[in-house]
Structure formats: structure tokens, C-alpha cells
Amino acid sequence: MKSKMASLVGATLMVALTLTACGSGSGSGNASSAGSESTSPTGSYDPNATIEIGSLYEPQNLDNTGGGGQGVTEAFNGNVYEGLFRLGDDGKVENLLAKDYKVSPDGLTYTFTLRDGVTFHSGDPLTSADVKYSIEKVLAKDSQSARKSSFAGVKSITTPDDSTVTVKLATKSISFVYNLSYVWIINDQAKNLTTSEDGTGPYKLGTWKRGSSLSLDLFAGYWGTPPTNKGVVFHYFTEATALNNALLTNAVDIVTSEQSPDALAQFSGNEDYKVNNGHSTTKLLLAFNDRVKPFDNALVRKAVTSAIDNRKLLTSIWGDYGTLIGSMVPPTDPWYEDLTTVNPYDVELAKKQLSEAGYANGFGFTLDTPNYDPHPTAATFIKSELAKVGITVTINVITADEWYTKVFKDHDFAATLQEHVNDRDVVWYGNPDFYWGYDNPEVTKLVNQAEQSDTTDEQAALLKKANQQIAADAASDWLYLYPQIVVASSSLSGYPLNGLNSQFYAYTIKKS
């Protein structure tokens, strides 16, 4: 009896540790995309309805500068906290807490005027000191904000009066205003932001029951247009099946992002539900280590890209959903163009390029593959595709955690699979130190020039050129762009379709 109990204790530990060894994160960073909100089918709706939202992304904590993850962006961005600017679901940047702003002729000084009559949930009025505090919080030493590096050029922030903020930059940055749309304006008196909040948004935090749900209640003192519902509750699930069951049993009204393609059939054929096919900005990449042989040779990278039938891969995983992109830029970025023909699927071409590059008999490499979907599936597919041109792939399955250390930090890999979720992230190809080691001085120059542009048109033109170059060099193989699928009850309208960077504005959702 006792020995059995002891072995049971041992087994507990072993099971847990085995789970730990196999455990993985759900990827990293934020998802994103652009588009428009779903249109309202009818004018009538129930203003007293509470919207029940189902999601797989529970916040880790409530502070997005403390590694809160994509869940806190989804629930809080725009709903609880607001920025000086708002990034619409269509990807356009609009004024929000900033009434207006001016840029000095040299492009180095930004002067923002704040909107009047804005108060925080605690009742404190919004002042320039709060804005300064909020930006500095992102820049702070212990900040885990994913946006930190985009503000590296901020030299000083001053507050001439209560409604004016002046930011001086070390170098010109055309993306500065866009980047500010990700910075939450937080009351500088706020305490304990990991479990509570003090924002200016239309909702305030109701209750957060960890592991289960988070509710947002109306904020009576909101400065802007009040929400078209009485509040929202995010219900969190760890399993896509459980989430879909909740939608099927009306326990939730809407699913922010459907991650289980197989489950779509039960909703798409049912008039009680609407399956929305939006644009995401999540790209699945076969990233080569461009520093090491044989991937330091662009011809080899092009050959590998041409040998893989991306269309077939996308269809087998997502059916009719999702898009082929042929480069790092999704259709919702301002510098998008269709580059899918630069390295077409063409096995003969691939063979020719391989022999030109001196690998007529092929070669072998190890593919570091994150252990969560869809990477293992994609890896197996790539392995069989490349076998056709004599390339032998060894699949090495690793956890998200190992990926971060081995691939991202130590650059110890030949090729890897990874999803890159943010919008406007083609600029990483201008950084030769980034994990994939793509180093083309021309591209680096273009990316830097683009950031120094005087106009957004100029910026777009330069980044288009950069994007064409990375596609021509096959810097990576951009396998496909994920769809952004929002499934909702037919009684719902006004919800965001594209969920840029995981944001999910809930205040325009109507329930009839």
C-alpha cells in the first residue's frame, strides 16, 4: 500500500515533468492584421446586452509593458486603455486622446495637444504628465513591451503645460505616430497595474477570474461615444474544441480568432453563425540562417522556395482560407504588392538553380521546428517536397522556449519554422543582427531611409523596394499568410474582422 502510494507520488512528478518537457508556448508576440468592422445588418439592437466573447488568449497579467502577452492587448487595447492615436481595424491611424499634433520642419520634434475633458476610471483628469509617464514606462529598463525597440530614437519628453506634450527624437521617424497607437496612456498615479487598471477607455475592468474569465463594465464618465452594449465578458479556453463547444451552446457569442480549421464546417453551413474571413498579419516562415552554408547562397534559397508548393500546404492546413504572399508584407500593410511570382513553385527551376549553385546532388539540413501547430505539419510537408530535388531534411522538434534560446538568441540553426505575427515587420530584414542573419546593405539602407521619410508615400515607396529586394534574394521562404477567422452568432454585428496585432475593439459590437 505504502509503496504503491509512494510510486504514485513519483508518477505525479514524472508525468508533470514529462508534460513540462513537451510543453510549449502558444507562439510568441502579437498577432495582427487590418481591414474593417463588420457592417450592421439591422439598425435595431439591444443596448443592454452583454457580449460574451470566447478566446484562447488569457492575459498573463494586465500590464502590457510587463510581458502581458497578446491576451491583454485583445481585452484592453482601446477598450480599457486608449492611446494618443487609434489604429483602426482597416489599418488607418486616427487621433484619439491626441486632439492634434504638429511636427517640426526637421521632423525631430512632435508636439501633441491633448483632448479636453478626458478622465481616468479613478476620476483623475488626463494631463500631459500622464502621457510622459506612459511613454517612459514603455522605454523603462525593466519594460517588456514588444514596442520598446521602435522608440529607441526618443531623446526627451517635456510637458510645457497640462494639455501639451513635446517629444524630441534623435533621428527622424515617420512611424512615430503609428507606433504611439500601441502606447497606452495610463494614470501616472496608478498602482499595481498587473492586477488592476486605470485607463481612459469606454470600459473599466470588472472582475478577472484567473483561468476563466475577465469582464469589462461600462465607464459612465467616458469622454467619447458610449459603447453599443452594456459590457463584455471574455471567456478563456485552453482548448479550441472547448471554445467551439461554448459557441455551439451559446455560452459565448463570438470567437475572436478561430484556430481550428477543422471546426469551421459546423459553423459555415449554419445560418445561426457567421464565419468572417478577415486579413491577419501572421506569416508562416521557413526562415533560413542566411549566414551559414548552404543558405548563405541566394540561389540555394530560391531553389528551396521554388521546390515547395505553398498553395498545397496552405490548402491542406486551412482549406479555402488564408493567402499566399511571396514576401514579408501582408495586404494590410501600406507597402504591399503581390510578389508571389518572384519565386514561383517550379520544381525544374529549383533543380536548375541547385546545380548552378553547385548542389546538383542536393544536400541535407536540419529544420528546427516548434512543437505546436502548424509547424510539425508544415515541416513534414517541406521534407517530402524537398526530397524531390534531392534535399534531405532532418526535422528537429523543439519547444517555443528552446526556439527562443537556440534560434533567436544564439543563432544556432540552419533553418527554422516560425510564425511572425506583427504588422509592418518587414523592417527586420534591415537588421543584419536579426536571427535569420539576412545582410543586404542595400535593404538596410532602404529600411533606414524609409524611416527617415518626410511623407508616408515616400516611406511606402522605399519599403516596397526593400520588399522586392528581399523577395528577389529569397531571404526567407514566406509560406503563407494566416487567415483571421472571426466566428460569431448571427445576432451580432459591429465586431472587428481583422484584429490587427490582436486588438479587439468591443465597444461597437451590437447584439439584436
Partner 1 sequence: MAVYLLRRVVFLVVSLFLASVLLFLLLRLLPGDPANSLLSIGATPEQLAAARHQVGSDLPLPEQFVSWLGRLMTLDLGTSFVSTLPVGPEIASRLAVTVPLTLLSFLLAVVVALPVGFVAAYRSGTWYGSLLGGLSQLGIAVPAFWVGMLLITVFSLRLRVLPAGGFPRDDWADPADALTSLALPVVTIALVMSASLIRYVRSATLDVLGSDYLRTFRALGSSFTGAMWRHGLRNAAVPVVSILGIELATTFLGAVVVESVFALPGLGSMLIKGIAQHDYPVIQGVLFVSTLGVLVIGFLADLAQRIMDSRLRGTVSGNAR
Place of cell 503645460: 161
Q: Determine, following the binding rule CB under 8 A, whether residue 265 of this chain makes contact with partner 1.
A: no
Size of the site for partner 1 (CB under 8 A): 69
Q: Determine, following the binding rule CB under 8 A, whether residue 13 of this chain makes contact with partner 1.
A: yes
Which one of the spans 91-99, 177-185, 248-256, 346-354 is the region binding partner 1 (CB under 8 A)?
A: 248-256
Place of cell 545582410: 439
Residues between 304 and 323 that touch partner 1 (CB under 8 A): none
From residue 158, alpha-carbon distances to 119, 136, 161, 167 in Å are 21, 11, 9, 6
User: CB of 85: closest distance to partner 1 in angstroms?
Assistant: 21
Residues between 204 and 233 that touch partner 1 (CB under 8 A): 207, 209-213, 215, 233
φ, ψ of residue 248 to 5 degrees: the values are -65, -30
Q: With respect to partner 1, which residue has the nearer C-beta, 138 or 379? A: 138
User: CB of 53: closest distance to partner 1 in angstroms?
Assistant: 13
Q: Determine, following the binding rule CB under 8 A, whether residue 249 of this chain makes contact with partner 1.
A: yes
The residue within the footprint of partner 1, chosen from 242, 265, 360, 387 (CB under 8 A), is 242
Residues between 152 and 181 that touch partner 1 (CB under 8 A): none
The stretches of 416-478 forming alpha helices (DSSP H) are 441-451, 456-472
Q: Are 79 and 507 in contact (CB under 8 A)?
A: yes
Query: Exposed/middle/buried for 2, CB within 10 Å: 0-12, 13-18, 19+?
Result: exposed
φ, ψ of residue 440 to 5 degrees: the values are -125, 105
User: CB of 103: closest distance to partner 1 in angstroms?
Assistant: 26
Instruction: Give the dihedral sign, CA 179/180/186/187.
Output: positive
Q: With respect to partner 1, which residue has the nearer C-beta, 356 or 402? A: 402
Q: Determine, following the binding rule CB under 8 A, whether residue 67 of this chain makes contact with partner 1.
A: yes
Q: How far apart (Å, rounded) are the C-alpha atoms in residues 57 and 29?
A: 12
Q: Are 218 and 231 in contact (CB under 8 A)?
A: yes
Instruction: Spell out where 210-363 has E strands.
Output: 213-218, 231-236, 254-255, 273-288
Which amino acid would we find at residue 28? S
Which one of the spans 87-95, 349-357, 405-413, 463-471 is the region binding partner 1 (CB under 8 A)?
A: 405-413
Q: Determine, following the binding rule CB under 8 A, whether residue 248 of this chain makes contact with partner 1.
A: yes
Interface contacts to partner 1, rule CB under 8 A: 1-2, 4-6, 8-9, 12-13, 15-17, 19-21, 23-26, 28-30, 58, 60-61, 66-67, 141-144, 146, 148-149, 194-195, 207, 209-213, 215, 233, 235, 237-239, 241-243, 245-246, 248-249, 251, 399-402, 404-405, 408-409, 418, 420, 422, 425, 428
